[in-house]
Amino acid sequence: MNIGFIGLGNMGAPMALNLLKAGHKVHVYDLLEAAVQTLEAAGAQRQASPAQVAGQEIDILITMLPAAVHVKKVYLGEEGVLAAVGKHVLLIDSSTIDPQTAREVAAQAAAQGNAMLDAPVSGGTGGAQAGTLTFMVGGDEAVFEKARPVLQAMGKNIVYCGGAGNGQVAKVANNMLLGISMIGAAEAMNLGVSLGMDPTILAGIINTSSGRCWSTEVYNPYPGVVETAPASKGYAGGFGADLMLKDLGLATEAAKAAKVPVVLGAAAQQLYQTFSTQGNGHLDFSAIIKFFSTK
């Protein structure tokens, strides 16, 4: 298939690489030249704007952008996707944004005849590289079935969540829990090590006991416990603390709209807010363990 891909960051670049590996022709755009160069070297076609990507002979256009403001600009802006895209092109936004914006952009796309899915992912940069992401997809079910084979080139679990915006609803709930569980994992690891435990032995106990979760097992925040985790690489790459802060903001905003309390979600948001204000927003979100460390 011919695919457009906009947003080649920590997640988008490996996702686009997997599409190339699966034999698709991929047209790419990103604001950062270095990101485009990496994809070009792997066989992608460089384009100069979202509109230029949209104007190619493509079947599907995928975006993987930081936040709602970027999604609005890329789809609705002057040099944006909707201004140039053919009606047959299926639009898929995999960025994590609020359900409301996802529904608004999908409605504008529908108004000009384009089907659109919100398809945020979980699985981190490791999952993006391995092609094992989980896609949570909102939109028309028949359109979802059309998109499934392409999503399968980038992910392992492709889950239909219901109408437009529902993929983002699933994502927001999952990531709120992830933020809370990472803080819990960091607090527990720091406590145990401060009391004299070896971090690897402690993690091993937790991971075969009732405290086990993804944050302790796959992505342990203590350096050296999981070799592949950002904690063992100076908290570089991975999922930025500022992106987690963004997702916790989405959760508390969504909770306000739904009139339900998110007590721990709001506490986690404040913790990441403080951590970010201290200049740590660029670090992987597991670096929140530094908040607890007194050394």
Binding positions for ligand NAD, rule: CB under 6 A: 6-12, 29-32, 35, 64-66, 70, 73-74, 95-96, 121-122, 124-125, 238-239, 243
Tokens at residue 151, please?
């999503």
- Cβ proximity to ligand NAD: between 16 and 202 the closer is 16
Q: How far is the CB of 194 from ligand NAD (least distance, A)?
A: 28
CB 165 within 8 A of CB 100: yes
- Cβ proximity to ligand NAD: between 6 and 61 the closer is 6
- Cβ proximity to ligand NAD: between 139 and 179 the closer is 179
Q: How far is the CB of 94 from ligand NAD (least distance, A)?
A: 7
The 8-class DSSP code of residue 240 comes to: B
- Cβ proximity to ligand NAD: between 124 and 281 the closer is 124
- Cβ proximity to ligand NAD: between 25 and 73 the closer is 73
- Cβ proximity to ligand NAD: between 192 and 269 the closer is 269
Q: How far is the CB of 51 from ligand NAD (least distance, A)?
A: 11
CB 244 within 8 A of CB 195: no
Report which residue type is found at 145. Answer: E
CA distance 132 to 139: 22
Nearest by Cα to 233 from 224, 245, 242: 224
Catalytic positions, please?
171
CA distance 47 to 8: 13
Tokens at residue 132, please?
């094992």
Q: How far is the CB of 63 from ligand NAD (least distance, A)?
A: 8
Q: How far is the CB of 126 from ligand NAD (least distance, A)?
A: 8
**Count of Cβ atoms closer than 10 Å to residue 76 Cβ:** 15
CB 168 within 8 A of CB 99: yes
CA distance 117 to 139: 5
E strands, the chain, are 2-6, 25-29, 45-46, 60-63, 90-93, 116-118, 121-122, 133-138, 155-162
**Count of Cβ atoms closer than 10 Å to residue 98 Cβ:** 23
CA distance 37 to 272: 33
Report which residue type is found at 202. Answer: L
